[in-house]
């Protein structure tokens, strides 16, 4: 269980959060449609490798934070303000994405070009870093996570596998749920805003309970 548990937690936290339609998922699907499944897989591998690095950075930072309870409390209070502002932004300010995901097609090259495209596009998405920081701290507080080297490596490996699995779902099944993907893309700001608002509420309840 010591070996399996961190891989499972990493997989689930990554898979479930990257399953919502976004630039990386849609790009992987479009590459599959235009250039074949093998090129889409190469792109997905590149994007997943970046997730590995991001998760490792995040968990290493969380290890330092977890050793300082005073910092955790300050970050919780700051997080309320930040996520509240993000909720307002996504609900009222941010423009809706274009309705047709076909307009978001990214021209790619085969082989190595697709791998580095995946690395680059994934690196531009910085949201996973604070997410993995929060998740690892939460799991640690619930006694499901510890910050030794092997556990961290297994967790971030699970996150990499989960991200790749999410991208591959789009590669395999995009044609079947393309209409639903378009719906999510049209309303993605509201989904993200709802998540950040929920985080604000849960954080306030957690501070109030302490």
Q: Is residue 118 part of a domain?
A: yes
- Tokens linked to 44: 């997905």
Question: What is the average pLDDT across 31-37?
Answer: 83
Query: 197 lies in a domain?
Result: no
Could you read off the pLDDT of 162-188 as tens digits, one per residue? 999 999 998 888 766 666 656 655 665
Q: What is the pLDDT of residues 77-91, one digit of tens each?
A: 766 777 787 678 767
Answer for the pair 72, 137: CB distance below 8 angstroms, yes or no. yes
Confidence of residue 142 (pLDDT cuts 50, 70, 90): confident
> Which of 38-47, 56-65, 129-138, 185-194 has the highest mean predicted lDDT (pLDDT)?
38-47
Is 206 among the domain residues? Answer: no
Whether the predicted model's global pTM rises above the 0.75 cut: no
Residue 172 belongs to some domain of the structure: yes
pLDDT mean over 32-53: 91
Domain count, the chain: 1
- Is 86 a domain residue? no
42: in domain? yes
Residue of 33, 201, 45 whose CA lies nearest to 117: 45
């Amino acid at each position: 269980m010591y070996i399996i548990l961190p891989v499972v937690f990493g997989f689930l936290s990554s898979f479930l959060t990257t399953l919502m339609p976004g630039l990386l998922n849609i790009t992987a699907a479009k590459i599959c449609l235009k250039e074949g499944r093998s090129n889409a897989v190469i792109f997905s591998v590149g994007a997943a490798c970046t997730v590995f690095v991001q998760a490792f950075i995040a968990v290493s930072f969380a290890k330092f934070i977890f050793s300082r309870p005073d910092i955790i409390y300050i970050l919780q209070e700051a997080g309320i303000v930040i996520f509240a502002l993000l909720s307002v932004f996504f609900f009222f300010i941010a423009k809706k994405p274009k309705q047709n995901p076909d307009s978001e097609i990214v021209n790619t090259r085969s082989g190595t070009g697709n791998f580095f495209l995946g690395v680059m596009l994934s690196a531009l998405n910085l949201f996973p870093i604070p997410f993995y920081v929060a998740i690892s701290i939460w799991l640690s507080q619930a006694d499901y996570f510890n910050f030794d080297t092997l556990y961290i490596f297994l967790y971030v490996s699970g996150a990499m596998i989960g991200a790749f699995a999410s991208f591959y779902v789009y590669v395999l099944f995009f044609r079947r749920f393309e209409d639903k993907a378009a719906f999510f893309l049209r309303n993605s700001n509201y989904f993200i805003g709802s998540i950040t608002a929920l985080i604000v509420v849960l954080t306030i309840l957690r501070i109030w309970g302490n």
